[in-house]
Structure 1
Amino acid sequence: MAKTSDSSGTEQRGPRHVAIIMDGNGRWATQRGRPRLFGHHAGAKRVREIVEACPDLGVKYLTIFAFSTENWKRTQVEVAGLMSLFRRYITKEARALKEEGVRVRFIGDRVKLDAKLIKLMDDLEELTSENDRVHLTIALNYGGRDEVARATKRLAQDVAAGRLDPESVDEETLPRYLDTFVLPDPDLVIRTSGEARISNFLLWQSAYAEYEFIDTLWPDFTEKVFAGLIGNYGARDRRFGGVKT
């Protein structure tokens, strides 16, 4: 794999942080004459394979888009089914994630989520808090604009309270208020299913990310496909606005 450099000039061989918009579950199910939730269950199973592939591919951080702030517009049946799936996934996978060295974090606004799901999320974060092999971040009720708005509100509150000098605010200040404040920015963002848009995902953090839009539907996204995209990234010339001499 070709060597690349991050924004600090440190040499690296591949993306350290990969973010994935997992799209196409519903279409995958429809193509098979099954209900959309069947596709979501298939997609949830695919997550395990991709998480397990990360260490061998050199990916330390994986962020997946599970449910957006806009997904509430879907039918009540589908939304309820997805919430049930999230609860089942966390309950079923918690021990394996702990044993496999995966640290799990959730980003997004938890206000609209039910209390049982929030408790499961909190417990999983606590259970895996000492793990460091792979950092899995799950974006649940997440939207990039919503995240920036919430971060800006907290920043404004600190200014109003005298905890933050407004003259000191620069582009390094806001990230400290984002949901992802403990994570490095993504190096590579992948979207499956043939759609070529970012759908309000990690808007601030992805300013210098490389993008891959592929036709593969998420339930068909295998470790082999993932590895191929990692290889493509390694061949790219990342200059971060500069010019190599």
Structure 2
Amino acid sequence: MVDESWSPPEVLVTVDLVILTLREASLHVLLVERGVEPYLGERALPGGFLNNAGEGIAEAAARELREEADLDGAQLHLEQLGTYGKPARDPRGRVISVAYLAIAPGLPEPVAGTDAAGAGWEPVEDVLAGRLGLAFDHRQIVADGVERARGKLEHTALATAFCGATFTIAELQQVYEAVWGVELDPRNFYRKVQKVPGFIESAGDERKATKGRPARLFRAGATTVLHPPLVRPDPATEEERQ
């Protein structure tokens, strides 16, 4: 029997952005200071509600990238991360968030969006360790975004999205170390990277160094899936080796 008195609950949809970049060889995430309730004055991921019924989820994510970070989604790595919909996650009511992961190298200082009092890059480690509290369930979303990035570095060429158009092997290694949170042996890393066909290719140039020999420059190759993969080392094992 159909309960004719039943009506679907009102559900609001937002998009939240986990925007990652490297700053001073450390993984950072873009956070805003909320300028409105709820959680006025607290840190949160940039994002917002869909503008209208005609706006798609991906379109909303691209719009929020422009408004919150002045970034063009077509110029950086952007992928859907997951959907978050626990009933009590937002005090305003039943709000479902579709989170996106965005990655780009060398991003500038951000400018706060329309509903934010401020914006800035914060070390991911401070968020994951709980030293920096976030509104809503945004700490979990950041953790999921970082874990997605860590896993994809093993099997895909995602690491090059953290680099500029050309880069050195040392700069690529910095990406892996920052995202994975471990130190890697340079010779071993170089050997593994060179074993992956199409991962990187020579840019035909060198970068002068203050000491030692000039460093060769590379660019991202055509391969998107790494075979063999660059397996993430266990941090405890790496500490024992050092």
TM-score by length of 1: 0.24
Judging by fraction of residues, say which structure has more strand. Answer: 2
The structure showing larger relative contact order (alpha-carbon pairs under 8 Å, at least 6 residues apart) is: 1
Structure with higher Rg: it is 2
- Structure 2 length normalisation: TM-score? 0.25
Between Structure 1 and Structure 2, which shows a larger proportion of helix residues? Answer: 1
